[in-house]
Amino acid sequence: MNEDIFNMSVRKFLKKVGVTSQREIETAIRKAVEEGKVGAATEATVVLSIPAAGLEVTIDGTIETE
């Protein structure tokens, strides 16, 4: 395995995940706040899955709006 190519590929993937996730979260939370579905904070969960590598990791957190 070429470590440089692997590292750059992982970084590129994570950048795409970060940018896309932020956009989607901001849109969904703003809408939910407007509709009264979300208050000052809400729980969030992300599942990272790479089936070929046998990876499935759940990451939990809180998104605060105030």
User: 0.95 cut: is pTM over it?
Assistant: no
The residues facing 60 across adjacent strands are 45
**Which residues of the chain form beta strands (DSSP E)?**
41-50, 55-64
Tell me the pLDDT band of 17, cut-offs 50, 70 and 90: very high
Q: Could you tell me if 44 and 62 are in contact, meaning their C-beta atoms sit under 8 angstroms apart?
A: yes
Number of domains in the chain: 1
Percent of the chain with pLDDT over 90: 98
| Type of residue found at 43 | E
* The pLDDT of residue 16: 98
The 10s digit of each residue's pLDDT in 38-51 is 999 999 999 999 99
The whole domain housing 44 covers 3-64
Q: What angle do CA 5, 7, 3 make, to 5 degrees?
A: 60
Q: Which residue has the tokens 């809408």?
A: 31
